[in-house]
Structure 1
């Protein structure tokens, strides 16, 4: 019996194709697939069909293993070792003998005991080895952490709850840091932190401030001042404008820009900086006309009395 013929393949088919064909047939004809559905609307309806399917499953399994064994024998230059020569074909007796060997191997209790012992040893070596590495790793005395805060965090004095995973320490360390406190000092030093009875460490937490989309921070020493840039068109500058914005505490604020606001000096609102400790500086800028048509439009409004003539000095523009 030619194993390739049993699998429905031409002679000398690549082994990858042999394997794919076998897996397909084995899945389709596996006895367990019909064990509980036999006679209940399954594809196999009679005992004779069930037995025939089992025999076919055995034959394709033996054929696949025979091709695999012959392939290995050719690679290593040895005989088959199961009573079948290098010729890939085999008889009904060979089929029965090979299948019996396969059944005996997998049904032997010592096989599963051996496999269980191997897996237990592999698992134990893996996790014990990892444990030994962790226990032998030295724990640094000093640890440096960067904490990123938003201006909203600092303004509202939000408490940040940190969970730190530090080098050489298995369990996380939990800390509560007040955003305003770390902003004031730029750094929080926690010395002699007791991890357990044997380990004490020093932790340095350094501040990093996220860039805000609207407001900006200009730090000069211990300054808590916030800057807000507003751009006005010529018409808005001459007429004045009310600006509505969401501030750092989430509340809506309204700022009034007077007509002909002096753009050389910022508008200062006291006690409206971070946490109410600094000031809010509103910087007014004028958007120059983008093209001559916008200039003509402004001149037309002035001539019609809609806008007053601009008395700005050139250096203020």
Structure 2
């Protein structure tokens, strides 16, 4: 081959390798990031989470969901925790108004600041707390990569644009996850987080009343009729306060029942029912309730994938002293 052609080709490959190295190195996350700077960090988080779960187990779902809502907006940078004097932060966006447990994150942060001042980020706290509430509800233990730093920006509009609503169909869900570098399998797996927690009626009453605009009794044909009747007993068309279990019967236990409900057309949200509208997600739903289910193992892997979205590491961002405001 002509040497004049070989050199540009070699340089192109070298540049590509350097780009791959820079991108992978920029992630900056690893297991045991605080092993030297705050060796008891994860033990401190677990101790605080266990105290909370002993008296308020209903916070498990919201605390797990908080990690998802943080990562899908600006990446996993703790921006969902920031307050705004003008009510224009992420937590003020409609999809986040139902988030609960901010005081628990603050409680954990206070304990960590006492042990290791200025070391552990709020973004990492959210990720570790999410894992620990899964374990506390009899779900799988999985290792959490740490090393995230906290962002300084939190924007209401970005939350509206990036958080897929519970009324999402399968194509919009796949697009939303793909935009964050997550696979269709990640979508099917992370949807399983709906095995714990509750939802306000307003997130699904569109399926119960005037679904296609033909009248008050017009319901979502993809939803089990007996389930609809039961939900109507709990929720009026205008109810915005009542809470309903997402996984009736075991909403405080991290298990496989969510997928069983989806197959029975008793998924609470349109986004749950949508998992049956795609061959890959449907196959995963059926696999999850089979003898060879790998859901617990898959969940840890998908949470790790989600936890890498848009992270700030190295000298980017900051380590907040208080999670609700920038330094």
Band of TM-score, shorter chain:
under 0.3
Q: TM-score scaled by structure 2? A: 0.18
Q: TM-score scaled by structure 1? A: 0.19
Identify the structure with bigger relative contact order (alpha carbons < 8 Å, sequence gap 6+): 2
The structure richer in helix per residue is: 2
